[in-house]
Amino acid sequence: MTRAAAALLVAVCLPVVGCSSADTGADEGAEPYRIGAVLSLTGSYAGLGIPEKQAIDLEVARINEAGGINGREIEVIYEDDATDAAKAQAAAVRLIDEEGVLAIIGASGTGHTVAMRSDAERAGVPIVSMAGGSVITDDFSEWVFQTPWPNRIVIPFVLKQMAAAGRTNVALISDTGGYGVDGRDYVLAHAQEAGVTLVADETFNAGDTDMSSQLTKIRAADPDAVLIWAAGKEAAIIARNARQLNMQQPLYGGSGIARQEFIDGAAEAAEGVRLGTGRILVPEAFGEGTEAYAVATDFIARFEAEYGAKPDIFAGHAYDAIGLIADALGRIEGDVTSEALRDALEETDGWVGIDGTFTYSPSDHNGLTEDEMVLYVIEGGTWRLDD
C-alpha cells in the first residue's frame, strides 16, 4: 500500500466534495422531488417487488404528466434489496446519504423495512413501508408509516373466518422471516380469542424446497385446516407438498399468498385455498358507486393497459405509498424537507387509496381496520369472493 494507493484514495474522494445530502432547499427551483424506493426486485420476494415497481412507475408518470406537484416533478430512485435485510439497510444508507432523498418507499418485506429503520431515524427521513408485519407500526417510530393491513388486522380476521366455518383445530406453518415470525406471534396470541385451537406449529426457512416433513408432522396432528403464513414463493411448494401427501384439509392464508405466482406455482394444488386480504382482487367488493370503487377501477384499468395484467395487492400497496407521499407533498406549505413531509404524512386525513381509506395520527401510522378485509377462495386459477 504505497503512494499509488494514497493517490487513489484522494483521487476518488475529491470529486464528491459538496454533494452532501439533505440540502433540498426551496431555492432549487424546478428540481424534481427525489424519493427513494427500496424493493425486493430479485430473490424470494421478487413477486412483491416487481408489481410494486410497476405501480410506482405508473403513478409517477401520471402525476408528472399532470404537471407534477407544486410545479415540480417526482423522481423515484430505485434500489433492489434482493430480499436481503443487509442489502436493504445498505440501500437506505445510499439513498439517504448519497442521493439525498426526501423519503423512502419500502421495503417490500417486513424484516427489510425494520433493517432500514435506524438509519432513517438517525437521518430524519420518513419511510412508507409496503410490508404487512405488525411490528412495523406496533413498535412505533415517528418516521415509519405503513400502507398494507398488518398481521394485527389480517390474522384475527382469518382466524375468525376459520372458526366460523367450523374449522377449529388449526395447524400453522410459517416462515422464519419477519412476516412469518410476526404472523406466528399473532396467531399464538389470538387463537383462543377467535375460538381456534392450534394443534401443530411448524416453521420453514426462506429458500427451503421441500416441506413434506413438516407437513407429515402436521398431518399426524389431524387438523381441520392448515394455515400457511408466508410471503415468499415457498407457499406454493407447501400447497403442492400437501396435495402429494394426500392431505384433504383445506388450506388458508393471508395477504402473503394473494399473488398470481402462488396460483401458478401451486397449479391444481391452489384450487380451494382460502385467503383473507383486501378488496382489490375483486373490486366489486368495494361496492359500486363508492369513491374507493372509482379509485380502484381506474387504477386497475390503467395498470392493465400498461402491463397487460391485473394489479395484485402489492401493486395496491405501492399505489398507496406513492399516492400518500404525493398527497402529503401537495399539502406542505413552505420549505419541502424530510421533516415537513413526515409531518404532512402524519396529518393524512381520509385519503382514499386501494388498501383502504387512510387517516394517520401521531399514534397510528397504519390507519386501517378489519373492515377492509374480505375472504377469497381460489377457483379456476383465479380469486372469487367466498360466500
Partner 1 sequence: MDAAEFFQYVIAGLKSGSIYALVALGFTMVYGATGIINFAQGEFFMLGGVLAVWFHGLGLPLPVAGIAAVAATALIGIAFERVALRRQRSASPLVLVIITIGGSMVMKSLARHLFGPDELSLPEFTPGPSVDVAGVAVERQALWVWGLTIVAVLLLAWLYRRTKLGRAMRACSISHDAARLMGIDTARVAMVSFGIAAALGALAGFAVTPLTQTSWDAGAAIGVKGFAAAILGGLGNPVATVIGGLVLGLLESLSVAFVSSTYKDVISLVVLLVVLFVRPQGLFGTAQRGKV
Partner 2 sequence: MSSVKRIRLFITPYLGLIAAALAVAAVPLVTPDRYVLKVLVYVGVNVIVIAGLALLFGHAGQISMGHAAFVGIGAYTSAYLVKTLDAPWLVGVLAATVLAAAGGLVLALPALRLRGHYLAMATLGFSEIMYVVFREARAITGGNDGLGGIPYPEVAGLKIDTPVGVYLLVWGVALLTLLLVLNILRSRPGRAMRALQATENGALACGIDTVGLKIRTFALSAALAGLAGALYAHGVGFISPSTFGLDQSVIYMAIVVVGGAGSLAGPTLAAVVLTLLPYADALVPGLSKDTIAVMQDWEADIYGLAMIAVVIFAPAGIGGLLKRIRLRGAGEVRS
* Binder of residue 20, out of partner 2, partner 1, none (CB less than 5 to 8 A by kind): partner 2
Q: Which is nearer to partner 2, 127 or 163 (CB)?
A: 127
What is the nearest approach in angstroms of partner 1 to the Cβ of residue 245?
A: 5
Hey, which residues does 361 pair with through a beta bridge?
Answer: 364
Contact with partner 1 (CB under 8 A) among 265, 276, 311, 323: 265
Total residues at interface with partner 2 (CB under 8 A):
41
Q: What is the 3-state secondary structure (H, E, C) of the chain?
A: CCHHHHHHHHHHHHHHCCCCCCCCCHHHCCCCEEEEEEECCCCCCHHHHHHHHHHHHHHHHHHHHCCCECCECEEEEEEECCCCHHHHHHHHHHHHHHCCCCEEEECCCHHHHHHHHHHHHHHCCCEEECCCCCHHHHCCCCCEEECCCCHHHHHHHHHHHHHHCCCCEEEEEEECCHHHHHHHHHHHHHHHHHCCEEEEEEEECCCCCCCHHHHHHHHHCCCCEEEEECCCCHHHHHHHHHHHCCCCCCEEECHHHCCHHHHHHHHHHHCCCEEEECHHHCHHHHCCCCHHHHHHHHHHHHHHHHHCCCCCHHHHHHHHHHHHHHHHHHHCCCCCCHHHHHHHHHCCEEEECCCCEEECECCECCCCCHHHCEEEEEECCEEEECC
What is the nearest approach in angstroms of partner 2 to the Cβ of residue 110?
A: 7
Contact with partner 1 (CB under 8 A) among 28, 210, 335, 349: 210
Q: Which is nearer to partner 2, 208 or 347 (CB)?
A: 208
What is the nearest approach in angstroms of partner 1 to the Cβ of residue 256?
A: 16
What is the nearest approach in angstroms of partner 1 to the Cβ of residue 89?
A: 21
Q: Looking at 47-55, 93-101, 304-312, 332-340, which segment touches partner 2 (CB under 8 A)?
A: 93-101
Note whether 40 and 110 are within 8 A (CB): no
Please tell me whether residue 9 binds partner 2 under the rule CB under 8 A. yes
What is the nearest approach in angstroms of partner 2 to the Cβ of residue 39?
A: 14
Please tell me whether residue 89 binds partner 2 under the rule CB under 8 A. yes
Q: Which of 184, 171, 96 is nearest to 135 (CA)?
A: 184
What is the nearest approach in angstroms of partner 1 to the Cβ of residue 58?
A: 22
Report how far residue 327's alpha carbon sits from residue 246's, in angstroms, rounded to the nearest whole number. 51
Q: At CA 220, angle to CA 191 and CA 133, rounded to 5?
A: 35
What is the nearest approach in angstroms of partner 2 to the Cβ of residue 90?
A: 8
Burial (0-12, 13-18, 19+ Cβ within 10 Å), 74: buried
Note whether 168 and 196 are within 8 A (CB): yes
Q: Which is nearer to partner 2, 10 or 305 (CB)?
A: 10
Please tell me whether residue 219 binds partner 1 under the rule CB under 8 A. yes
What is the nearest approach in angstroms of partner 2 to the Cβ of residue 267?
A: 28
Name which of residues 180 to 209 contact partner 1 (CB under 8 A): 202-205, 209
Q: Which is nearer to partner 2, 9 or 282 (CB)?
A: 9
Q: Looking at 128-136, 217-225, 328-336, 363-371, which segment touches partner 1 (CB under 8 A)?
A: 217-225
What is the nearest approach in angstroms of partner 2 to the Cβ of residue 73?
A: 19
Please tell me whether residue 205 binds partner 2 under the rule CB under 8 A. yes
Per-position x/- string for 161-190, each x denoting binding to partner 2 as judged by CB under 8 A, each - no binding: ---------------xxx--x---------
Q: Which is nearer to partner 1, 43 or 133 (CB)?
A: 43
Contact with partner 2 (CB under 8 A) among 24, 54, 110, 337: 110
Residue numbers at the binding site for partner 1 (CB under 8 A): 42-43, 46, 176, 202-205, 209-210, 212-214, 216-217, 219-220, 233, 237, 243-246, 265
Residue numbers at the binding site for partner 2 (CB under 8 A): 1-3, 5-6, 8-10, 12-17, 19-21, 84-87, 89, 93-94, 97-98, 110-112, 114-115, 117-119, 122, 176-178, 181, 205-206
